[in-house]
Amino acid sequence: MTDRLRVLRSSVEHLDSVVDVETLNPEASAYPTGWTIADTMSHIGSGAVIMKKNLENTVASHEADGGFNQSVWDVWNAKTPAGQVTDALIANAALLVSLESLSEEQRNDLHFSMGPFNLDFDGFVGMRLNEQALHTWDVDVAVNPSATLSSAVAGAILDNLDIIVGFAGKANGEVKEVTVRTTNPSRDFTLAFASDSINLGGATHVGEVDFELPAEAFVRLVYGRLDAENAPSGINEPLLKKLQKSFPGF
């Protein structure tokens, strides 16, 4: 089992522990407040169904059905809020089982293309981990305001956070560099702001940096999930406010 697959399993298990179907109100607000917990769980569940089908098609060398994704969304949109929650847990687990059941040969041979991304097995797992873990936090923080991503999840996402920065970052025309240091795990980065793009590069910084924060908080920042209410204490708040504008979330 790859490291990312292990981390994905831990994230799936964490969502199971967060969601108590007996007491959870599926129509309560998740994060962001425009989404309910049921909305978020529906996104997790429908995404799992679609990725499971993509996995099966890729392994079997089958062409994808162009209408499949929409048919899945239609099914999930028609579910009751309670059904979206319970069925998401089932679909989430089913995708994990499919990933874990692939042989080493199948994993080595897997190549999946989506838009500009060409992914091997580890990249495919990583794509699911990113989505699943951040949306799990969206639900978790609704019932536990102090919720954070685990260090294992944060570390796994950090490895490819440069792709997300390039995709999700919104340049404002300002050209500058921001040095970043994360803790738990400890990494050094440089955010390079160009007039029309933002790039994240690995770096080694000596001494103080512009922005130091836990790795999980940096991941949430890039994904548009680091507000004053859920930011760690001691953070550089003026810089955080500037960076929030560059990473509004998606």
Q: Can you give 114-175 as a three-state secondary structure string? A: ECCEEECHHHHHHHHHHHHHHHHHHHHHHHCCCCCCCHHHHHHHHCCHHHHHHHHCCCCCCC
Q: pLDDT tens, position by position, for the chain (250 residues)?
A: 469 999 999 999 999 999 998 899 999 999 988 999 999 999 999 999 999 999 999 999 999 898 999 999 999 999 999 999 999 999 999 999 999 999 999 999 999 988 777 899 999 999 999 999 999 999 999 999 999 999 999 999 999 899 999 988 999 888 999 999 999 999 999 999 999 999 999 988 989 999 999 999 999 999 999 998 899 988 988 999 999 999 998 7
Between helices 37-60 and 81-101, what is the axis angle to 10°? 30
Q: What angle do CA 34, 116, 76 make, to 5 degrees?
A: 35
- Look-up: residue for tokens 């560099």? 177
Alpha-carbon distance 166 to 169, whole Å? 6
Pull the structure tokens for residue 50. 């679609």
Please state which architecture CATH assigns to domain 3-145: Up-down Bundle (1.20)
Alpha-carbon distance 161 to 221, whole Å? 11
β-pair partners for 178: 191
Alpha-carbon distance 26 to 49, whole Å? 20
> By C-alpha distance, which of 42, 31, 23, 35 is closest to 81?
42
Question: Of all helices (H) and strands (E), which one includes residue 221?
Answer: helix 215-222
This model's pTM is above 0.85: yes
Backbone φ, ψ for residue 190 (5° rounding) = -130, 125
Residues 6+ apart with CB under 8 A from 160: 123, 126, 130
> What does DSSP say about strands 112-114 and 117-119: parallel, antiparallel, or unpaired?
antiparallel
> By C-alpha distance, which of 61, 20, 60 is closest to 37?
20
3-class state of residue 2 by DSSP: coil
The ranges assigned to domains in the chain are 3-145, 157-246
Assign domain 157-246 to a CATH class: alpha beta
Contact 250, 224 (CB under 8 A): yes
Matching CATH topology for 3-145 and 157-246? no
Between helices 151-158 and 215-222, what is the axis angle to 10°? 60
Alpha helices in 19-120 (DSSP H): 37-60, 68-77, 81-101, 104-109
Pull the structure tokens for residue 188. 């050094």
